[in-house]
A and B are shown apart, each in its own frame.
Chain A
Amino acid sequence: MNLLSKLSVGFLFVVISAAVFAPWIAPYSYETQDTFNTLATPSLNHLMGTDRLGRDLFSRLIYGTRVSLFIGVSTTLLALFVGTIYGAVSGYAGGRTDSVMMRFVDVIFALPDMLMIILITVMMGRGVSGVFIALTLVSWVTVARLVRGEVLRIKEYTYVEAAHALGSGNFRILTQEVLPNILGLLVVTLTFRIPVAILAESTLSFIGLGIAPPFSSWGTLANEGWQAIKFYPHLILFPSLAIFLTILSFNFLGDGLRDYLDPRNQARFG
């Protein structure tokens, strides 16, 4: 893998550690108020400064990592799971089943997705579960389409025919022959979809419709910073930077993985 991908893995490792070990890393709790030091600029006491209520931004950012990362990873995993099953069944079954199943996917695909995410989140009551459901409902169709395309291609191969001839059932063929062959695609899709989910969640929270207090994600912090951008730009700088660098790392990692897993790329065998 190239240098950028390796750097990205390093950065993501730091981010994930921050999320997992938040209580041990964060110098303050996410709600401790330093009332003599409100809206402080970055200093040794408060690495990223403090917000309007005197809460330490560095600590809040670390706790925010938990929410942002959890939503990004969990919605993507669920969407991947649902989408893979749906797409694999649809592609493998073919014919009428396939066209009916795909018609449904097309309709969901035609929905203006961000609008639906806003609508579902607000209707479900703002919070982690609302965002989670909204993101999953909208994003599984992309996976379903991708997987269906791959399954359509793979099921024509002679090794699938051979498995048929040897008497394997459909379930066995799907799990033993087809799925292992789309694993690479799934890994790459996972890497590219996580940043999309993180982006959607942070956008939602940024406009004030996503994660509600007492929880705060990076997007919520960016929203708080936005309200004070004219005089205290550091409050929005750090959350924005966290979002941007995380998404960037996932994209670099995805590019690297795609090249690495590409069968036409012989470098890894050398």
Chain B
Amino acid sequence: MLKYFFKRLLHGIPVLIAVATLTFIIMRLVPGGPFDEEKKLPPEILANIKAKYHLDQPVITQYLLYLRQLVQGDMGPSYKYIGRDVSDIISDTFPVSITLGLLAMLVVLGVGIPVGVWSAYRQNSIVDRGCVFFSTLGISVPSFVLGTLLVWLMSHELNWFPPALWEGPRHMILPALALGAPFSGYIARLTRSAVLEVLASDYIRTARAKGLTEPIILFKHTLKNSIYPIVSVVGPLTAGLVTGSFVIEFIFSIPGMGSFFITAVTNRDYPLIMGVTLVYALLIVLANILVDIIYMWLDPRVRV
């Protein structure tokens, strides 16, 4: 298992290098640079700044320099937050974003799976139709629409939750809901179809025939066998939550990586853009590896 884990980790490295390369190309393809400001700097100073950040060198040299730096674990200094390294900014903002992501994941699975199971158990009833209808509503509502609605209703009108910032558990509820709810509709639909398939199988009929109680059939036989499709989408789901979080961070003024990414892009803060993109990509790669390992642990048939 450990050997498999390291092998997968090794496979992730070329992906990360490719991500770095593509990001680098996109950043440099377009004219203009981080120090082209409205207030023109004297040419000597500009030249000095550029020399300091190696921006005076050919692009390919800059690329190789960056990669060499990166391999040594150094993501370079930020161009705009003077005196701060990209790794400092990331270690400040990463915990915020990951907390938000994990809470949202909790919402996604905690709402999606029970609703899906309930819906499947009452197939074609009013409950089922209601669940399917509401999960399609959930899939269709953009998280920024839900987020702004929650802010307006829960903060401005009812005053139940704070509308912004990230200072305690009360600040986390609305963002996690806004980020997670759209995805939970998707999980509910997936769970429903997986459970329906299992419920129609022979071994469930056998379990019923030998008189097992419903809770045992549900937890020991049905859920255990319908969990695979859900586990397999947790990887893409993580990617969705991770890259979806910056809108939520924007709405709720949360000081996470997403907020910094947006400012970094508008400022052309190359090292910061690179750093955040790479951390996000690494997260997605790791999530996919984790999912495969859980899958192997659950299903003896795919064990190596």
Contacts and interface: CB of A to CB of B under 8 A. Distances in A.
Given A123-B26, A207-B246, A118 B261 contact: yes
Given A112-B281, A115-B276, A203 B19 contact: no
Interface residues of B, number: 42
Contacts of B243: 112-115
A247 interface: yes
B15 A119 contact: no
B148 A236 contact: yes
Given A229-B151, A251-B139, A122 B247 contact: no
B242 A112 contact: yes
Nearest to A223: B144
Interface of A: 106-108, 110-116, 118-120, 122-125, 195, 199, 202-203, 206-207, 209, 222, 226, 229-230, 233, 236, 240, 243-244, 247-248, 251-252, 255
Interface string B141-160: 11111001101100010000
B140 A248 contact: yes
Contacts of B136: 248, 251-252, 255
B247 A203 contact: yes
B273 interface: yes
Nearest to B19: A111
Contacts, number: 111
Contacts of B276: 115
Given A107-B18, A222-B145, A226-B148, A209 B239 contact: no
The A interface is mostly helix, strand or loop, or mixed, namely helix
Contact of B145 (A112, A122, A124, A243): A243
Q: Which 3 A-B pairs have the closest CB atoms?
A: A248-B140, A114-B243, A112-B280
B200 to A, nearest CB: 14
A207 B262 contact: yes
Given A110-B284, A203-B142, 14 more contacts: A112-B284, A114-B243, A118-B261, A118-B262, A119-B277, A123-B265, A195-B140, A202-B142, A202-B144, A203-B144, A207-B247, A233-B156, A244-B140, A255-B136
Interface string B9-38: 000000100110011001101100000000
B90 to A, nearest CB: 14
Interface in B112-164: 136-137, 139-145, 148-149, 151-152, 156
A206 B145 CA distance: 10
B246 A233 contact: no
Contacts of B266: 122, 209
B247 A119 contact: no
